[in-house]
Chain A
Amino acid sequence: MNRSIIISSALHGILIFITAMSLPFLAKKPLDIPPIVSVELIQITEKTNIPFAPKAKKIIEKIKEKEKKLVSEQAPPKKVKKNKTKTVVALDQNSEIENQRPDAIPLPEKNVKKIKTKKEKKQNPDKVDEEVKQVSEFEKKELFDPTNIAALIDKSKVDSAEVVKKNDDITQDKDRSIENTGLTLSEEDALKAQIFGCWSIPLGLPYNEDLLVRIKLMLEPDGSVKKTEILDHARMNKPGQGFYKVLAESALRAVKLCQPLRVPTTGYERWKELQLNFDAREMLEG
Chain B
Amino acid sequence: MKKKFIILFLLLILPIKVFALIEVDITRGNLNPLPLAVSPLSIDNKSKKSFEKILKKENIGSEISTIVENNLRTSGLFNPLNKDAFLQAPEIANLKPRFEDWNLIKAQALITGKVTYVDEKLRVEFRLWDVLAAKEMMALAFTTVPNNWRRVGHIISDKVYERLTGEKGYFDTRIIYVAEEGPKTQRKKRLAIMDQDGANNKFLTLGNELVLTPRFNPTSQMVTYLSYFKNLPRVYLLDIETGTQEVVGDFPGMTFAPRFSPNGKKIIMSFAKDGKSDIYTMDLENRIVERITNHPSIDTSPSYSPNGKFIAFNSDRSGYQQIYIMKSDGKNVKRISFGNGIYGTPVWSPRGDLIAFTKLHKGKFYIGVMRTDGTGERLLTENYYQEAPSWSPNGRVLIFYRETKTNSKGEGFSAKLWSIDLTGYNERLVKTVTDASDPSWSSLLSN
Contacts and interface: CB of A to CB of B under 8 A. Distances in A.
Interface of A: 14-15, 18, 22, 26, 179, 182-183, 188, 191-192, 195-206, 208, 216, 242-243, 245-247, 249, 251-254, 256-257, 270-271, 273-283, 286
Interface string B1-35: 00000000100110100011111111111111010
Nearest to B135: A249
Q: Is the interface of A mostly helix, strand, loop or mixed?
A: helix
Given A18-B13, A204-B165, A247-B166, A253 B130 contact: yes
B108 interface: yes
Interface string B124-146: 00000010110001000000000
Contacts of A245: 166
A279 B25 contact: yes
Nearest to A208: B353
Nearest to B166: A246
Given A191-B24, A277-B25, A200 B9 contact: no
A242 B161 CA distance: 13
Contact of A202 (B28, B32, B164): B164
B24 A192 contact: yes
Nearest to B132: A256
Interface of B: 9, 12-13, 15, 19-32, 34, 77, 108, 130, 132-133, 137, 161, 163-167, 351, 353, 376, 378, 394, 396, 423
A232 B34 CA distance: 25
Contact of A253 (B20, B32, B133): B133
Given A200-B34, A202-B166, A204-B394, A279 B22 contact: no
Contact of B31 (A18, A203, A242, A270): A203
B136 to A, nearest CB: 12
A256 B133 contact: yes
Contacts of B108: 200, 253, 257
Contacts of A279: 25-27
Contacts of B34: 200
A157 to B, nearest CB: 31
B21 A203 contact: no
Given A274-B24, A280-B29, 7 more contacts: A182-B22, A203-B31, A203-B165, A246-B164, A253-B130, A274-B22, A276-B23
Given A200-B108, A257-B132, A283-B27, A182 B20 contact: yes
A200 B30 contact: yes
B24 A200 contact: no
Contacts of B12: 15, 18, 22
A286 B378 contact: yes
Given A196-B29, A199-B29, A200-B30, A277 B19 contact: no
A171 to B, nearest CB: 14
A257 B134 CA distance: 12
Contacts of B77: 203-204
A188 B25 CA distance: 9
B279 to A, nearest CB: 29
Contacts of B30: 196-201
B25 A183 contact: no
Contacts of B132: 252-253, 256-257
A203 B34 CA distance: 11
A275 B166 contact: no
A271 B22 contact: yes
Contacts of B351: 206
27 contacts: A15-B12, A18-B12, A22-B12, A179-B19, A182-B23, A192-B24, A195-B29, A200-B31, A202-B166, A203-B165, A204-B165, A208-B353, A242-B166, A245-B166, A246-B163, A252-B133, A253-B108, A254-B26, A256-B133, A273-B22, A275-B21, A277-B24, A277-B26, A280-B29, A281-B27, A283-B27, A286-B376
Contacts of B32: 200
Which of A196, A197, A201, A206 has the most chain B CB within a 10 Å cutoff?
A201
A22 B132 CA distance: 52
A257 to B, nearest CB: 6
Contacts of B165: 202-205, 246
A32 B295 CA distance: 73
A190 to B, nearest CB: 11
**Top 9 nearest A-B pairs by Cβ distance?**
A204-B167, A204-B165, A199-B29, A246-B166, A201-B29, A256-B132, A182-B22, A204-B166, A275-B23
B15 A26 contact: yes
Contacts of B27: 279-283
Contacts of A204: 77, 161, 165-167, 394, 396
Contacts of B19: 179
A243 B31 contact: no
Contacts of A196: 26, 28-30
Nearest to A274: B22
Contacts of A256: 132-133
Contacts of B13: 18, 22
A243 B166 CA distance: 5
B24 A188 contact: yes
A183 B22 contact: yes
A179 to B, nearest CB: 7
A231 to B, nearest CB: 10
B29 A254 contact: yes
Which of B28, B376, B396 has the most chain A CB within a 10 Å cutoff?
B28
Which of A22, A197, A200, A271 has the most chain B CB within a 10 Å cutoff?
A200
